[in-house]
Structure formats: C-alpha cells, structure tokens
Amino acid sequence: MLYVIGLGLGDARDITVKGLEIIKRCELVYLESYTSILTCGKEEMEKLYGKEITVADRDFVEQEADIMLNNAETKEVAFLVVGDPFSATTHTDLILRAKERGIKFQIIHNASIMNAVGSCGLQLYHYGETISIPFWTDSWKPDSFYEKIYANRQHGLHTLCLLDIKVKEPTLESMTKKKKEYMPPKFMSVSEAADQLLQIVEKKKSEGIQEIAFDENSIFVGLARIGHESQKIIACSLAEMKNFDLGPPLHSLVLPANNLHELEKDYLQQFSEKPL
Amino acid sequence: MLYVIGLGLGDARDITVKGLEIIKRCELVYLESYTSILTCGKEEMEKLYGKEITVADRDFVEQEADIMLNNAETKEVAFLVVGDPFSATTHTDLILRAKERGIKFQIIHNASIMNAVGSCGLQLYHYGETISIPFWTDSWKPDSFYEKIYANRQHGLHTLCLLDIKVKEPTLESMTKKKKEYMPPKFMSVSEAADQLLQIVEKKKSEGIQEIAFDENSIFVGLARIGHESQKIIACSLAEMKNFDLGPPLHSLVLPANNLHELEKDYLQQFSEKPL
C-alpha cells in the first residue's frame, strides 16, 4: 500500500491528523525533496512522526522510485510531499505507475501554494493560468510565460507566478562523469524574478510594442514562506520589488488584475506602504 | 486572538496537527457551515477536539460575527472553515474586520477544492478562471459564466466549475415574517449542473451560434466528496453526466481543455469507461 501524503507548507505540524496516523503505522517513510521544501528540517519531522525518513531526491524519483513501489507491494509505505500530492507532475506520474502495477494507494491532501496564495486577499476564482518563471542564464532567457500573463491581464485575472527551484542539479563539469557533483540548491527570490520581468519589459519596449501586460510601475505582490509563522507578504511596484529582500525561500509572485474588487483592494492594502 | 482554521475536505481527522493543538487550547470554537460542508457531523469533530462547537450559519456570519470578534479581543477563539480559510469571500472579510479592530489573528491553511481538484490528474497550472454554476429557477437562468468557460477553452485551459450550495435559505413565505422558516439544504449535483449546461448548449444552437465552447459530446469530469474515502470521479460526455448519480454532496465539475498532455490523458483515462 502506498500513501501519498501532503505535508502542507509550514513546518512538521502542518501535516493532517490523518496523515500523521498513517505515517505512524507505515514501515517505510520517504520524503520528496526536489520540487519544494518545508521550512523545517528532516529531524523535526522524524521527532514528530517517531519514524526514520529516507530523503527522496531527484535521482530517487527518476531512478529509484521503482524500488519504493516494489516495497509498497508488500509493505505500508508513505511518500511525503511538500504541499499537496497533486502539486507536481512527477507525483501524478508516480501515482499512475503505482496504479498500473496494481498497488493500492491513498492520497492525503493538504494546502499548497495553489490555494494558500489566497493569503494575499486576491480571490482564488479570479486567477487565470499559473505560470512558472525559470532561472535565466547568460545564453538562455525564455519568456514564453509572458504571453500567458498578457492573456490573464486581458481577461481581468490575477496571475500566480511560481519561481524556479534548483535542487541537486549536477554541475556541468560532472555531467559526463560517473560520480556526479551537485550545485548548491538555488531558490528564486521575488527580487530575482522582478529583475527578469523588468528585462522583459525593456525588451518589449525596445521592440516598439505599445501594449505591454505590465511595466516597472505595475503593482506586484511578493509572498515568502506562506503558511509559516515567518510568512511575509509585500505589495509594491515591480521596480521596488527588484530591490526588496523577503528573506529565506520559498518565494512566489502575484500580478493582480488591473481592476480589483473592493474587498481585494482593502485586503491587499495592509501589505503596501503606499495607497494602492 | 482569532484563529481561522481550515478543516480540509474529508472528515474530522483532516485538520492539521497544528490546527488541532490550537483548538484544544481555545475557549470558544465556532464552525462555519454555510459556504461548504464536511462529510462528517459536528459530533465527530467535538469528540476529536474535546470541545463544544457553536455552529455559525449564514445569520451568524452576517449578524453575530461581531460578538465572536468581541470575544476574540480577550479570549482565544477558533473559527473553523471547511477547506481553506481563504476559499470564500466572507472569511476574507471576517479576517479584515478582525484586523481593523486590532484583534490578532492566525491562519491555519488546509486543502480546498481549489487544489484538491488535482485528484483527477489535470495539472493545476493548466486551469483558467474558476466559475460558479448557480441553481436556476423557472424565471432566473443566469449563464454569464459561459463566457468564462469559452475564454478558458480558447486558451487551452481547464475549467473548474463550483456547484451551488443553498444552506439556511429562508422560504419565500417567511421572508417578511419575524420568525424565519428555512428551506432544506440543497447541494447541486453534477447531474443537475450538466442539465443546465445542456440547456445553454441548446440555447446557443437555437441562436445560430456556430462555435460553442462545448456540446453534449464534450468530455466532462464529475467529482464527488474529494478528499473523503468515498470520493468518486467520473469522466464522461456531458449528455452522460446528466444521467449520472455520483451520490451525496459535495460535487464539482471540470471541463478539461481540448488538448490534454499525455500524462493528463493517461491519468484521466482511469475514470472513464470509454477511451478518451
């Protein structure tokens, strides 16, 4: 039996009572650690659960997941996922593989950024398509997500921007070697995201495009560590966001619709130093 | 101090460990009961929490919430919400009122249909604007949500359709009386929603509109009691959905995008009797 258990967003105690009960009776407990992170360490979780946890990193999910599924054929196995189990494609794929092999599974839901972004007061049913902003390199600066932001703005919708995470990425030098070496983990900040968005604005302007989805004066909402006690939300212009430090990861960015409902505006105001 | 605590979607044990700890030390516990329902009764919750629960219905939120906020000025008060605290506008409003009165508050997140809809395998970041389908009457058949579905389809996005809930609605006869009488609670089923959507298709056809967002053959996904053990998901045509009984509430409906990713299609297939 495979239990895929959402951990929520904050610390170890954001697991549900049901999820905790299940972990306590499982023989094997794995923690997925490459699509997201909790703000607490593995040790804190092991203490609460009374179980040893095996960290499942990128290599694991891509290569060793079959071993976990083999175990789930005869044992009670828990696979812990930050946020909700369906927040990442890799988990959907894992569940499908379990199903194809005839392994029974149960999903335990929890909060994820996809619904906890409601914390900034913008109503969830007024969001359009969610976009992801990847880390740019000197030679690779993809901006196809811009068109999605543009479409959302056209329809009077908010846009949630998920910011890139690089965990356990092999170094370029070790790619061809047998023993991989890994880069330190990287989490995009709202400041870095704002910098890239400003570059897109400049590019559009230099191309003579008149109607741009947003510019340096557009109000964005920066969110950090949502669901954790140290959570921070700021509403300011894109230019200001570039110079703003929201502290440790994870960060997300929201571009509100042009026209906000009265309640949305009132709620958002508390996160801004200037009148919105 | 006011704690607004998400209960998740299934039963009493879907509360988080943190949420439960907070309830156990609160002096007063209210349960919001008119924007959604849990699949368990108040008694089951009271047993787990070891606390008496006051049910806060529509009248409460509209009229008596101030009394709760008065209490929160001096006492530890928990306000329990099915799903996530930011899933309904009324809760955002309540939090804002607490803040304006200088009452400290803490939000405890949980799963809501807005992220748990991921259960059907359609990726959350491919959803467009969420729509709400209201109960029609003989003389009132609003269909403005159709344009939003149309826009989502145009952009290759899925649409989550939230289905209407009528809890503690006064009867027409008692509206002017001092002592209100209430209609039995009503929860829209996927079958009722499909029936209304089919009527919209007929109307568009009779108006000679060529390009309709969906028709009776379009595949819809019906979801019932997501997050609960008795959860059911079905993928079938709109015409078939009209005759399908998914059992007790709550129900939701999803209209998938025209073009599905391979993994989305593979995952959805398990809920369909026919090849998608």
Q: Which of A14, A119, A151 is the closest to B86 by Cβ?
A: A119
Pairing of strands B232-237, B219-224: antiparallel
The answer to whether residue B198 is domain-embedded is yes
Helix, coil or strand: residue B236: strand
Q: What is the pLDDT of residue B222?
A: 98
Range 126-145 of A in CB contact (< 8 A) with B = 126-132
The answer to whether residue A276 is domain-embedded is no
Pairing of strands B105-108, B159-163: unpaired
Residue to substitute from A124, A163, A164, A229, interface B, most B β-carbons within 10 A:
A124
Range 36-95 of B in CB contact (< 8 A) with A = 48, 83-87, 89, 92-93, 95
Whether B77 contacts B26, CB under 8 Å: yes
Q: How many CA atoms lie within 13 A of A160 on its CB side?
A: 29
Residue to substitute from A80, A87, A93, A109, interface B, most B β-carbons within 10 A:
A109
Contact A10 B20 (CB under 8 A): no
Token couple for B136: 């029609």
Q: Which helix (H) or strand (E) holds A94?
A: helix A89-100
CATH number at residue B253: 3.30.950.10
Q: How many CA atoms lie within 13 A of B205 on its CB side?
A: 9
Give DSSP secondary structure letters for B120-167. Answer: GS--GGGB---EEEPPP-SS----THHHHHHHHHHTT-BEEEEEPEE-
The answer to whether residue B276 is domain-embedded is no
Q: Does A99 contact chain B (CB < 8 Å)?
A: yes
Q: Which of A9, A87, A130 is the closest to B109 by Cβ?
A: A9
**Are both A125 and A168 inside the same structural domain?**
yes
* Residue A7 marked ligand-binding: no
Number of domains in chain A: 2
**Are both B136 and B64 inside the same structural domain?**
no
Alpha-carbon span A11 to A243, nearest angstrom: 28
Alpha-carbon span A247 to A249, nearest angstrom: 7
Q: Which of A86, A111, A123 is the closest to B89 by Cβ?
A: A123
Alpha-carbon span A86 to A93, nearest angstrom: 10
**Are both A57 and A179 inside the same structural domain?**
no
Alpha-carbon span B84 to A172, nearest angstrom: 42
Q: What is the pLDDT of residue B63?
A: 75
Contact A155 B151 (CB under 8 A): yes
Q: Which of B48, B110, B123 is the closest to A110 by Cβ?
A: B110
Smallest CA–CA distance from B154 into chain A, residue: A151
A-chain CB neighbours of B125 within 8 Å are 114, 129-132, 162
Question: b/e map of A182-206 (b: 16 or more CB within 10 Å)?
Answer: eeeeebbbbbbbbbbbbebbeebee
Token couple for B198: 């089919």
Residue B104: band (very low, low, confident or very high) from pLDDT cuts 50, 70, 90: very high
Whether A224 contacts A249, CB under 8 Å: yes
**Are both B133 and B106 inside the same structural domain?**
no
Alpha-carbon span B198 to B237, nearest angstrom: 11
Task: Say if residue B12's pLDDT is above 90.
Answer: yes
Residue with tokens 């029974």: A104
B-chain CB neighbours of A11 within 8 Å are 18
Q: What is the pLDDT of residue A181?
A: 85
**Are both B239 and B128 inside the same structural domain?**
yes
The answer to whether residue A158 is domain-embedded is yes
Q: Does B118 contact chain A (CB < 8 Å)?
A: yes
Q: Which helix (H) or strand (E) holds A44?
A: helix A42-49
Q: Which helix (H) or strand (E) holds A71?
A: helix A65-74
Pairing of strands A54-56, B232-237: unpaired
Contact A17 B18 (CB under 8 A): no
**Are both A35 and A119 inside the same structural domain?**
no
Q: Does A172 contact chain B (CB < 8 Å)?
A: no
Residue after which a domain boundary falls, among A57, A80, A111:
A111
Q: How far is CA B240 from CA A163, B84, B160, B219, B230, in A?
A: 40, 32, 19, 9, 21
Range 174-203 of B in CB contact (< 8 A) with A = none
Q: Which of A87, A112, A121 is the closest to B92 by Cβ?
A: A121
The answer to whether residue A58 is domain-embedded is yes
Whether B159 contacts B128, CB under 8 Å: yes
**Are both B182 and B80 inside the same structural domain?**
no
Strand order in the sheet with A54-56: A54-56, A28-32, A77-81, A2-6, A105-108
Pairing of strands A54-56, A77-81: unpaired
Helix, coil or strand: residue A167: coil
Helix, coil or strand: residue A166: strand
Give residue B91's domain range.
2-111
Alpha-carbon span A106 to A90, nearest angstrom: 16
**Are both A128 and A251 inside the same structural domain?**
yes
Contact A13 B16 (CB under 8 A): yes
Which range is least confidently modeled, A151-155, B110-114, B176-180, B266-270?
A: B176-180
* Residue A276 marked ligand-binding: no
Residue to substitute from B3, B49, B82, B125, interface A, most A β-carbons within 10 A:
B125
Average pLDDT over all residues of chain B: 93
**Are both A204 and A89 inside the same structural domain?**
no
Residue after which a domain boundary falls, among B93, B111, B129:
B111
The model's pLDDT over B174-218, given as tens digits with 9 standing for 90+, comes to 877 878 888 888 999 999 999 999 999 999 999 999 899 999 999
The answer to whether residue B274 is domain-embedded is no
**pLDDT over 70, % of chain B:** 99
Q: What is the pLDDT of residue B128?
A: 97
B-chain CB neighbours of A129 within 8 Å are 125-128, 155, 157
The answer to whether residue B121 is domain-embedded is yes
Mean pLDDT of all residues in B52-72: 86
A-chain CB neighbours of B8 within 8 Å are 16, 109-110
* Residue B163 marked ligand-binding: yes
Q: How far is CA A115 from CA A48, A50, A106, in A?
A: 26, 29, 21
Alpha-carbon span B45 to B40, nearest angstrom: 8
Whether B29 contacts A25, CB under 8 Å: no
Q: What is the pLDDT of residue A171?
A: 82
The model's pLDDT over B147-168, given as tens digits with 9 standing for 90+, comes to 999 999 999 999 999 999 988 7
**Are both A123 and A94 inside the same structural domain?**
no
- Find, among B249, B238, B221, the residue nearest to B127 by Cα: B221
**Are both B138 and B234 inside the same structural domain?**
yes
The model's pLDDT over B219-254, given as tens digits with 9 standing for 90+, comes to 999 999 999 999 999 999 999 999 999 999 999 999
A250 preceded by cis ω (within 30°)?
yes
Q: pLDDT digit of tens for each residue in chain A (276 aa)?
A: 999 999 999 899 999 999 999 999 999 999 988 777 777 788 999 999 999 999 888 777 777 889 999 999 999 999 999 999 998 888 899 999 999 999 999 999 999 999 999 999 999 999 999 999 999 999 999 999 999 999 999 999 999 999 999 887 778 788 778 788 888 889 999 999 999 999 999 999 999 998 999 999 999 999 999 999 999 999 999 999 999 999 999 999 999 999 999 999 999 999 999 998
Contact B267 A92 (CB under 8 A): yes
Whether B225 contacts B231, CB under 8 Å: yes
Token couple for B215: 């028709």
The answer to whether residue A275 is domain-embedded is no
User: Dihedrals φ, ψ of A3, to 5°?
Assistant: -105, 120
Neighbours of B12 (CB within 10 A): 22
Residue after which a domain boundary falls, among A74, A92, A111:
A111
- Find, among A258, A228, A271, A234, the residue nearest to A113 by Cα: A228
**Are both A106 and A126 inside the same structural domain?**
no
CATH number at residue A63: 3.40.1010.10
Evaluate the CA torsion angle A171, A174, A175, A181 in order and state its sign: negative
Residue B124: band (very low, low, confident or very high) from pLDDT cuts 50, 70, 90: very high
